[in-house]
């Protein structure tokens, strides 16, 4: 599997996960300020030191001459603010990925190739800068921007709180929708100006574990003109704050690739 396919999984997460449906929103939605919404969203930020999760991932796109579809399992381990590690497989191991604040490393058991580089690959895919903390935020159901660094308009739309920057960036427009009952994200939408690119990340269901909320299901839709990429991620199990190992050793016989 190509590195782009493997890495795009990252622009998404997650013994047994007990699913808790959040956001039924049957009662009245109270109008509150953007400042209070942001404060409540920050108060439910991920706070565990480590996680170990098993995921089912469905990937599809229409790039190239035909549509591509892949379904596989991913073992995801993370040490907060330090390392994201993944091992993907179908029947047999397929690839490993390791991400740190400065590097992205990958190798494939099937093609016997590997890649080691910085974030320029992701930035080329998205058309904008991205950081390790933003990747974490996507996985945790949190905003990819530091909401305290600018001012926002607050509205209620389709029974969810909506935050819109008062001054949108010149390169992109971004919108955040939050569940009114726990202030985790319902969705975040990124539109790249003048490139006809959009990335929409949906969080309909969360897992409640050890006083933390994590996405039970994530759906990512990325469009680039007529091209699209869709990723569905379903949490099968999740463990927090346990000792984890993240073995990652590229065999010397593998061939380095450049992208």
Q: What is the pLDDT of residue 14?
A: 34
74-93: b or e for each residue (b if 16 or more CB lie within 10 Å)?
bbbbbeeeebbbbbbeeeee
> Would the pLDDT of 19 be above 50?
no
Inter-residue contact 97 to 76 (CB < 8 Å) = no
Looking at residue 176, which CATH number applies to its domain? 2.50.20.10
What is the percent of the chain where pLDDT is above 70?
87
Q: 96 in helix, strand or coil? A: strand
Residue 15 has pLDDT above 60, yes or no: no
Which tens digits make up the pLDDT trace of 121-154? 777 765 567 889 988 998 999 998 889 999 999 9
Percent of the chain surpassing pLDDT 90: 56
Q: Mean of the pLDDT values across residues 179-208?
A: 89
Model-level pTM? 0.82
pLDDT at 127: 59
- The whole-number pLDDT of residue 109 equals 93
Calpha distance 63→27 (Å, rounded): 43
Q: Is 243 exposed, middle or buried (0-12, 13-18, 19+ CB in 10 A)?
A: exposed
Q: Which domain holds residue 239?
A: 3-256
- Euclidean distance between CA atoms 104 and 115, whole angstroms: 8
| Total domains, the chain | 1
Tell me the per-residue pLDDT of 69-105, one tens digit each, with 9 for 90 and over: 889 899 999 999 999 999 999 867 799 999 999 999 9
Beta carbons of 212 and 142 less than 8 angstroms apart = no
- Tell me if residue 82 falls in helix, strand or coil: coil
């Amino acid at each position: 599997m190509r590195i782009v396919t493997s890495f795009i999984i990252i622009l998404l997460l997650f013994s047994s996960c007990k699913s808790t449906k959040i956001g039924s929103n049957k009662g009245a939605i109270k109008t509150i300020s953007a400042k209070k919404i942001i404060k409540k969203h920050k108060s439910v930020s991920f706070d565990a030191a480590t996680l170990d999760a098993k995921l089912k991932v469905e990937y599809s796109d229409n790039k190239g001459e035909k549509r591509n579809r892949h379904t596989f399992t991913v073992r995801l381990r993370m040490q907060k603010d330090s390392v994201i590690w993944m091992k993907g497989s179908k029947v047999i191991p397929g690839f490993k990925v390791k991400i740190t604040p400065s590097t992205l490393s990958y190798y494939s058991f099937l093609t016997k190739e590997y890649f080691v580089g910085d974030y320029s690959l992701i930035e080329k895919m998205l058309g904008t800068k991205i950081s390790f903390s933003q990747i974490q935020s996507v996985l945790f159901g949190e905003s990819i921007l530091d909401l305290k660094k600018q001012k926002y308009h607050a509205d209620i739309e389709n029974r969810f709180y909506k935050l819109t920057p008062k001054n949108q960036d010149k390169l992109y427009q971004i919108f955040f929708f939050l569940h009114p009952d726990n202030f985790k994200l319902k969705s975040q939408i990124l539109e790249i100006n003048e490139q006809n690119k959009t990335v929409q990340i949906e969080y309909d269901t969360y897992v409640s574990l050890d006083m933390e909320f994590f996405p039970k299901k994530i759906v990512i839709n990325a469009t680039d003109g007529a091209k699209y990429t869709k990723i569905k991620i379903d949490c099968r199990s999740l463990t927090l704050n346990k000792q984890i190992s993240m073995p990652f050793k590229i065999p010397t016989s593998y061939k380095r690739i450049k992208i």
